Chain A
Amino acid sequence: MTLIRFRSDAAHEEPGVTLDGFLGQSNATAVRIESGEDVRLLLPYLDRLQLIEIAFPTFRDGRGYSSARILREAGYTGELRAQGDVLIDQVVFLRRCGFDALSSEKPLDEAAVEQALARFPYFYQKAAEPRAPVWKLRHG
């Protein structure tokens, strides 16, 4: 198990509660979303959440990417952690969708992650990150 964070605050210690548990009046500040659960149910509570962990049961299951963007577009600023089958070849997508922590079941080499993130100099789309898309670079 590897945890790589792209945040300067301290990692949240307690494990996330389930979505059902959270919605059932929990005061928890961390929640774990299984793939297939509707992250929009969290939108009223984003202010008090510090960690949202999104499960990737297999790297092929890409639902978590949309979940992440929905949360970031709604203004969530806490930690967004991709957990599970998180592979080097997906880290660019994950980061661009707004994940700022990667928790991988298999060892993930930090240097290789850095290298992967530096591989592509530009991006065509506007996404959940500060970098400007190519069309913005072209036209200002």
Chain B
Amino acid sequence: MYKYDEYDRALVDARVEEFRDQVQRRLSGALTEDQFKPLRLMNGLYLQLHAYMLRVAIPYGTLDSRQTRMLAHIARKYDRGYGHFTTRQNLQYNWIKLDDTPDILAELATVEMHAIQTSGNCIRNISSDQYAGAAADEVADPRPYAELLRQWSTFHPEFSLLPRKFKIAVIAADEDRAAMKLHDIGLKLVRRDGALGFEVYVGGGQGRTPMVAPLIRKFLPADELVSYLEACLRVYNRYGRRDNIYKARIKILIHEIGADQYRAEVEEEYLHVKALGIDPPAAELERIQAMFAPPPLVRDDSVTIDRSNPAFALWLDHQVVKHKVPGHAIVTISLKPIGGIPGDASADQIDVIADLAERFSHDELRITHAQNVVLPHVHMGDLAEVWAALTAAGLATPNLDLISDIIACPGLDYCSLANARSIPLAQKLSERFADMDRQRDLGEVKLKISGCINACGHHHAGHIGILGVDRKGEENYQLSFGGSGAEDASVGRIIGPGFSEDGVVDAVETALETYRSLRTEGERFLDTYRRIGAEPFKAAIYA
């Protein structure tokens, strides 16, 4: 885990004081809401339908128990006892009072947390693989690079007023668990001839115009990361359109000028930038890497697990994957109980998770972009106890990557931009498919719901995606199939006319029954769809 030193701390503290000052000026009337808006947005504070929402950064999704308990404390003291984990590996509080925000940020700062750059047209929280440092398939832990980029991007003087928001993800394994190619910049750490470097993908994104990022650099030596990204951003900042916010993302620029032209411009800029000496020295990366040293796990080939309790065995099969050190496991805690709000956790549940991380996971946990929580380093001998504690807290739903593991944005229940509600729809869908045998039979299905075209619920990347639209003042839902945020990234396609809320639940069910009747051995819904195309599904749904 990264630990602040005096420099990091001084910067975050200065930011809290600056914001306290700005809030005071707002409350006294010295600042109008218009003037205050960009300032609060720089600090993750949004005005939603019913209250302020504060978005707290969880850099690369990693937390320790002390930080997690602070999140629970803030939920209790300043919110209504809940936190909402987002698809950006962040946490949102939906019921915040403006005059409390400086105190909340000050409390967060005591545990080395903040809300810096969780909104606004700047480089946002850097995301990463939730299994980083634990996954058997990674080249190296990607998080030290993500931390290097966190520092580089924090209060960057040139890139704090970009054409639009800018999202970066860093991964280090072939399996893409972070939707890397759907980011403005996606970085994949690879090893070539013994040397570490990055594949650099630029210009992916969701929203109104979803795109899978093209490969811009095949191999970037790891120690030139900062220079190269500076060049990438500078080219974007110079050319990126300001006249139309829907055309301002880097994906549009690259689409318009072409990946080759963009690459050439970046390389030219990079030749110049590289000579400026802006890359931190190797010693800085080593300093950070030392803090991400793997926990002292001892290989253990002798663990046997008693699977005689069927509920426990089911949970093991769905929520637990292999750790790089034999005898250990990576546990995903589902925040998707049947009928629940995806990504929501009560303060008490957050405390339980913190306790489990402290006792059983070397004081570490992760937030996933699918709105779940991970205990990355659990000894297999402790799994039964972890499961029992999760069960008692209502956190042991065994549905990872199944149909009820739904991603949903806040939608019309909270969000002022929404066309339709996402949460009640997610609840209905998860209730429709509540039967565990049925879910298991349907296998991996990634269902994602957004309440408007901004796509915070990643519907384009859903095997099944649902988009809320407004049709003559009525909430209406468009259904799309075939998206993926994984290493085989693709954008889903709308299958036909939209549905009412109940209609879309029926349509999903019909699609899945069609899949069941047409699948071949071992095929997931996505595979069957890719093999046979949309027609059989359409025929069944619009029959």
Contact = CB atoms under 8 A, between A and B. Distances in A.
Interface of A: 35-36, 38, 59-63, 65-67, 69, 73, 89-90, 92-94, 96-97, 119-127, 133-135, 137-139
Contact of B11 (A60, A94, A120, A127): A120
Given A63-B237, A121-B10, A138-B7, A93 B161 contact: yes
B284 interface: yes
A61 B42 CA distance: 15
A65 B158 contact: yes
B268 to A, nearest CB: 10
A125 B156 contact: yes
In this complex, the member of A94, A96, A97, A139 whose beta carbon has the largest number of chain B beta carbons within 10 angstroms is A139
Contacts of A135: 151, 280-281, 284
In this complex, the member of B5, B17, B284 whose beta carbon has the largest number of chain A beta carbons within 10 angstroms is B284
B539 interface: no
A90 B152 contact: no
Interface stretch (B63-71, B170-178, B270-278, B476-484): B270-278
11 contacts: A61-B161, A62-B158, A62-B163, A89-B42, A93-B161, A96-B157, A122-B11, A125-B157, A126-B276, A137-B7, A138-B7
Contact of B39 (A65, A89, A126): A89
A62 B151 contact: no
Contacts of A127: 157-158
A122 B158 contact: no
B447 to A, nearest CB: 36
B224 to A, nearest CB: 14
Interface of B: 5, 7-8, 10-11, 14-15, 17-18, 38-39, 42, 121, 151-152, 154-163, 234, 237-238, 242, 272, 276-278, 280-281, 283-284, 287
B160 A62 contact: yes
A65 B157 contact: yes
B276 A59 contact: no
B278 A60 contact: no
B161 A65 contact: yes
Contact of B152 (A93, A97, A119, A124): A124
A69 B278 CA distance: 13
B160 A93 contact: yes
Contact of B272 (A73, A93, A94, A126): A73
Nearest to A118: B14
Contacts of A66: 158, 234, 237-238
Contacts of B159: 62, 65
B238 A63 contact: yes
B276 A73 contact: yes
A119 B18 contact: yes
A114 B18 CA distance: 14
Contacts of B287: 138-139
